[in-house]
Chain A
C-alpha cells in the first residue's frame, strides 16, 4: 500500500526566506507526483505536477523535484511571502493505489 509522508508537519519562517518542504513515498511505481496548496476551509489548488520521467518542474518561485529511486520529492519556495501561508499537500498517483495518495500536509506560516 502506498504511503506518503510529509515533513515537517508545520513550519514558520520570516518573510523573504527560501524554504524546502519534503515529501516521501513508499512505492516508486508512480505515474506522477503532485503538489497542492490548500487555504483554510478551501479546496485544493494544483501547484505543480512532476511526471514520473521528470526530475523537476518550475512555476514562478516554486520548484519541485522528484527522485523516484529514493521515493522523495521536495517543494522549494524562493523568497517567501506572507501570501504563501497555507497548507501544502503532496500526492502520488499510481504506486499500486487508485486515485491519489496524499500526505498529511505541511502547514506553512510566513511571518511578515
Chain B
C-alpha cells in the first residue's frame, strides 16, 4: 500500500462549487504539505502543517483552506472554485524539515479541473 494517498485522483467541477481534496499518510510523519503544479510554473506551496495544532500559509494560500483532522490526515478545500485553480495538486509529508537528512514524500496527485 502507498504511504501517501490522495482522493480523489481526478475531479471535474464547476465554478463556484466547494471542493475538498483529501490526503492520508501511514508514514507517521508530523509534517504535511499541499502543493499545486501548473505547466511552466513548477510546484508551489499552498499550506503546510507541522502538527495537528499548527497550520501555516504557504506561497499561494489565497482561495484555499486546510484542515488537519489527525496526524495522518490533511485536507485541502476550495471554498468557491474558480477556473485558474485548475491544476495538479500534491500532498507531501516529512518527519521534520529542519535537518539536512530529511526528505519529503509525495502522494500520486489529484488532477482538478474547474470549468
Contacts and interface: CB of A to CB of B under 8 A. Distances in A.
Interface of A: 4, 31-32, 34, 36, 41-44, 46, 49, 51-53, 89, 91, 93-94, 97-100, 102-105
Interface in B36-89: 40-45, 48, 56, 58
Q: How large is the interface on B (under 10, 10 to 19, 20 to 34, 35 or more residues)?
A: 20 to 34
Given A41-B111, A46-B103, 7 more contacts: A31-B97, A31-B102, A42-B109, A49-B101, A51-B101, A99-B35, A102-B43
B33 A31 contact: no
Contact of B98 (A31, A91, A100, A105): A31
A31 B100 CA distance: 4
A89 B43 contact: yes
Contact of B43 (A41, A46, A94, A100): A100
A3 B106 CA distance: 21
Nearest to A32: B100
Chain B CB within 10 A, most for which of A41, A46, A100: A100
A51 B104 CA distance: 13
The residue among A31, A43, A91 with the most chain B CB atoms within 10 A of its own CB is: A43
Interface of B: 33, 35, 40-45, 48, 56, 58, 90, 92, 97-109, 111
Contacts of A91: 43, 104
Given A51-B100, A52-B100, A102-B42, A43 B108 contact: yes
A98 B56 contact: yes
Contact of B97 (A42, A89, A93): A93
A8 to B, nearest CB: 14
A99 B100 contact: no
Contacts of A51: 100-101
B58 A98 contact: yes
A72 to B, nearest CB: 17
